[in-house]
């Protein structure tokens, strides 16, 4: 080989090495485009409001009167409240406005008990708190003698009152249809009227609430879950008025697997550069459920227009005082012990997870009957529904650095931050060092990342951050080929699947 050829080979080798080095540097330190729901938040001036988006009174099937309901919301620190009785548009807190069909019908079957008790212009709650009702720029406010005020969300309602549980909460528009209706009917009506809505507690409709193990919930190899995932994906994609789902409501019994559904939807939508938002709510029918789940809305001022803008753009966090998923609890107490060592809190979480696992095993062995929530939930509420901890975690700042590929979260009263992608835990950091570097976890990170902040007072969920949304458009179908919406009859799919599982488990126990 002559010198010229040797030099050519060496030069080619150097060029290859340079290209490899360059490619590696780009993958390890390259910039990203990150769709950040909180990008427009001015963290120096924004206000964080505690919001109840879903609860009931005895105008439909709730136990408390409106007066009792609002008194408890005042006691538990809410700034904004939507009363969402079944099939009943909330027009006022001052005077009675029940839907006579719903109220009368439920009264006949033993619900809607007792007299309706609205607030009038002024009065005093049972705990001695005096109040007045005031109107300002088109919004209604409950003014307390302490100086606090609670804003009423206009036109709150839980739609599909006489359907087979296809419940949709909507706000901001005067819409209801109390015939036998479907999800599609409700979303179409809300969209036409110009409102905002969310799909309520999907685990109840899909029957995922009856699953025992996370691995079985929303497993799309099973027809009932394949069907429901596609159904909700199609509805959310079709109707812009639907911001997403409620994935942690009440004590998290019915919804304990609905974070799995949220992640499945996020995978599909983020592959098309889109987001799906998720709320938490109390769905309170009793006073002691009022402070179980809620939303922290980021708003410049306390108005219904600002709340609507917050919900439509994902500038809010879901929050809950309850967790019913044993796998999540195992990950939480493991992280607490690794970062802070064993503590009273980590032991409490561990005991709840252990009790859930033992109950699940007993059901699988035929020793106990299944129920809808395994009968166990980790909760920081006392027996009367008041938070036992004065340290509710709250997110105070979110920063995204696209050039560095990092997402940073600042919080108060928090201990750990769990980072989720593709439905799996990627890593857990301490709340003091809550930075997620996309380069560090490139192999484990899909097209979105979301965070869960846990502390002594409960859990807070961020909305998802979509990674390189322009590069993923159309990468995956939002709705699978072959899906057909069966409309009002599709509740039978969940029921049939649930009973097939129960019967199969019973037959299996006979041959143990």
| pLDDT digit string, tens, across residues 124-159 | 999 999 999 999 999 999 999 999 999 999 999 999
Q: Residue 489 — pLDDT band, cuts 50, 70, 90?
A: confident
Confidence check: pLDDT of 400 > 90: yes
Alpha-carbon torsion, ordered 478, 484, 490, 492, to 10 deg: -110
pLDDT band at 113, cuts 50/70/90? Answer: confident
- Asked whether 332 and 458 are in contact (CB, 8 A), the reply is no
Q: Which residues pair with 418 in a beta bridge?
A: 428, 452
Structure tokens at 402: 């696209």
Query: What pLDDT score was predicted for residue 470?
Result: 82
DSSP H or E stretch at residue 332: helix 326-340
* Cα 133 versus chain centre, distance: 31
Average pLDDT over residues 391-400: 97
Q: For the chain, what is the mean pLDDT?
A: 90
Domains assigned to the chain: 34-40+326-471 (2.60.40.10), 47-322+483-489 (3.20.20.140)
The model's pTM: 0.91
295 band by pLDDT with thresholds 50, 70 and 90: very high
Where does the pLDDT of residue 98 fall: very low under 50, low under 70, confident under 90, or very high at 90 and above? confident
What confidence score (pLDDT) does residue 16 get?
Answer: 36
Q: In this predicted structure, what is the pLDDT of residue 102?
A: 86
Residue 79 reports pLDDT greater than 70: yes
What share of the chain has pLDDT > 90, as a percent?
A: 77
pLDDT band of residue 443 (cuts 50, 70, 90) is very high
Q: Provide mean pLDDT across the span 402-418.
A: 97
SS3 200: coil
- CA separation for the pair 214, 326 (Å, rounded): 8
Can you give the pLDDT at residue 124?
98
Of the pLDDT bands very low, low, confident and very high (cuts 50, 70, 90), residue 476 is: confident
Please list, residue by residue across 32-43, b when 16 or more beta carbons sit within 10 angstroms of its beta carbon and e when fewer do.
Answer: bebbbbbeebee
């Amino acid at each position: 080989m002559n010198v010229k050829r040797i030099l050519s080979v060496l030069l080619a080798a150097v060029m290859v090495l340079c290209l490899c080095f360059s490619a590696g540097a780009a993958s390890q330190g390259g910039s990203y485009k990150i769709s950040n729901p909180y990008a427009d938040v001015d963290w120096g001036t924004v206000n964080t409001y505690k919001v109840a988006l879903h609860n009931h009174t005895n105008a439909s099937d709730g136990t408390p009167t409106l007066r009792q309901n609002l008194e408890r919301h005042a006691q538990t620190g809410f700034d904004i409240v939507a009363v969402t009785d079944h099939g009943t548009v909330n027009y006022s807190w001052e005077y009675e406005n029940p839907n006579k069909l719903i109220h009368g019908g439920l009264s006949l079957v033993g619900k809607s008990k007792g007299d309706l008790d609205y607030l009038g212009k002024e009065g005093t709650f049972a705990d001695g708190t005096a109040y007045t009702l005031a109107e300002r720029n088109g919004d209604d406010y409950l003014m307390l003698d302490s100086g606090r005020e609670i804003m009423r969300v206009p036109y709150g309602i839980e739609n599909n009152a006489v359907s087979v549980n296809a419940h949709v909460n909507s706000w901001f528009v005067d819409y209801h249809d109390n015939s036998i209706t479907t999800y599609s009917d409700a979303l179409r009506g809300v969209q036409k009227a110009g409102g905002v809505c969310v799909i309520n507690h999907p685990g109840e409709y899909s029957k995922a609430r009856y699953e025992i193990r996370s691995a079985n919930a929303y497993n799309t190899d099973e027809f009932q879950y394949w069907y429901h995932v596609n159904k909700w994906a199609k509805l959310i994609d079709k109707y812009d008025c639907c911001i997403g789902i409620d994935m942690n409501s009440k004590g998290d019994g019915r919804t304990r697997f609905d974070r799995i559904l949220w992640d499945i939807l996020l995978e599909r939508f983020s592959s098309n550069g889109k987001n799906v938002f998720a709320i938490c709510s109390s769905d309170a029918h009793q006073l002691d459920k009022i402070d179980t789940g809620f939303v922290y809305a980021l708003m410049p001022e306390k108005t219904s227009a600002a709340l609507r803008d917050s919900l439509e753009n994902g500038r809010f966090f879901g929050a809950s005082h309850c967790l019913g998923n044993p796998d999540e609890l195992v990950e939480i107490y493991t992280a607490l012990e690794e970062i802070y060592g064993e503590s009273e809190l980590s032991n409490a979480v561990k005991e709840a997870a252990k009790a859930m696992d033992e109950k699940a095993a007993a059901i699988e062995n035929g020793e106990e009957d299944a129920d809808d929530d395994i009968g166990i939930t980790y909760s920081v509420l006392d027996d009367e529904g008041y938070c036992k901890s004065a340290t509710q975690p709250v997110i105070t700042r979110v920063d995204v650095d696209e050039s560095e590929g990092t997402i940073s979260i600042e919080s108060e009263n928090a201990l750990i931050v769990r980072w989720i992608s593709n439905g799996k835990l990627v890593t857990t950091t301490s709340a003091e060092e809550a930075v997620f570097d996309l380069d560090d976890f490139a192999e484990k990170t899909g097209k979105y990342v979301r965070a869960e902040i846990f502390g002594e007072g409960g859990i807070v969920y961020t909305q998802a951050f979509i990674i390189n949304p322009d590069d993923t458009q159309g990468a995956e179908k939002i709705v699978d080929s072959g899906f057909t919406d069966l409309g009002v009859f599709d509740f039978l799919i969940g029921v049939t699947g649930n009973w097939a599982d129960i019967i199969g488990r019973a037959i299996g126990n006979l041959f143990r």
